[in-house]
Copies of this chain bind each other. A is one copy, B any other.
Amino acid sequence: MGEFDLIERYFKRPVHSAVLGVGDDCALLQPRPGTQLAISSDMLVEGRHFLSTVDPFKLGHKALAVNLSDLAACGAKPLAFTLALALPRVDATWLEGFSRGLLALADAHGCELIGGDTTQGPLNICITVFGEVPVMAGRSQALLRSGAKVGDDIYVSGSVGDARLALEVFRGTLQVPAAVFEQARSRMDQPTPRVALGLALRGVANAAIDISDGLLGDLGHILSQSGVGARFETSFATDLIACRSNPAWSGCQSDLCLSDEQWLELVLAGGDDYELVFTASASARAAVLEAARSSQTAVTRVGQIEAAPGLRLIDGAGQLIDHRYPSFDHFA
């Protein structure tokens, strides 16, 4: 199968909202009047973002999910995406699974594949995604990292730390019951982009970011770009990791058990979560709960924005915890 047959068979589909899709030098989008286009690119590399053994269907899902997560963090409605793909060889089974996983998630979000590129090379998946953000009274409704205000509550969506737990099991640094590993692995392989929550938070949240490099590290971007600090309650944090409530832990051997500190580190510095961390005024608590309800997404209040720079971790007894959790860095 050649390059053009490959595109035709797996990736060319009719477009509905785009003016022109796959098959010309450029795709054409015509944003609706009174809207801005939110744009984000993510590149996934084998061995770095996924293991060579991953099911291609799940990889197709994840490749788009991490991009949709950026739209979610911006409060943008998904419109379309381009896919650039370097493949070591044409493998019909792999392409079939990958394209099915990719396009199933795309369809679920009404996000059209409008163009891209294919070439031979070490496996590399680069997606650029486009979303719509309204402009109201001359003001963009996009959620930015820079909007946090002193006194804001800090919230985290869904569950955090499970993907890192699965990674550490793969790395051999942790052992956990099989059922726990399966639960964690599904979070690593098939993250859920919080698109509906992001849309519901427009006009409610003051700042938002998605968690890709670790909760504290990504919250740190909000703090530095907003010129503020924060107080973070760790007593809420250990409940954020879904695997901890797995019944398979009961009766498990004690040498499999994780310490409170290990749980906390998975939550605070795990990464690869694709949940949202966001801030909202204390007067918006009811509106945040309504956004969570309408988007069917759990949110947990974990702290408060403060004027003093830096991030202070507070334990259940109100004591300051000494910490130095690293944020994930691809070149560290």
Contacts and interface: CB of A to CB of B under 8 A. Distances in A.
Interface of A: 1-4, 6, 19-20, 23-31, 33, 36-43, 45-49, 70-71, 73-74, 76, 82-87, 89-90, 114-122, 124, 126, 128, 130-131, 133, 135, 140, 142, 144-146, 208-210, 225, 329-332
A89 B332 CA distance: 10
A30 B134 CA distance: 10
Contact of A45 (B42, B115, B120, B130): B120
Nearest to A31: B31
A126 B272 CA distance: 22
A119 B36 CA distance: 28
A24 B145 contact: yes
Contact of A39 (B23, B26, B144, B225): B26
A86 B43 contact: yes
B84 A119 contact: no
A31 to B, nearest CB: 5
Contacts of A146: 24
Contacts of A70: 25-26
Contact of A84 (B23, B43, B85, B135): B43
A121 B50 CA distance: 12
A120 B331 CA distance: 6
16 contacts: A3-B329, A23-B225, A25-B73, A25-B74, A25-B208, A25-B209, A26-B74, A28-B142, A30-B36, A31-B37, A41-B116, A42-B84, A45-B124, A84-B128, A118-B330, A121-B122
A199 to B, nearest CB: 14
Given A25-B209, A41-B82, A41-B116, 14 more contacts: A25-B210, A26-B73, A28-B37, A30-B37, A31-B37, A39-B114, A40-B82, A40-B115, A41-B126, A42-B117, A43-B121, A45-B124, A49-B119, A89-B331
Pairs A-B, 9 closest by C-beta atoms: A45-B121, A126-B126, A26-B38, A25-B73, A43-B84, A122-B122, A26-B74, A128-B128, A41-B82
A250 to B, nearest CB: 39
A115 B131 CA distance: 14
B71 A144 contact: no
Contacts of A142: 20, 26, 28
A128 B29 contact: no
Given A115-B39, A126-B84, A330 B145 contact: no
A89 to B, nearest CB: 8
Contacts of A331: 1-3, 6, 87, 89-90, 118, 120
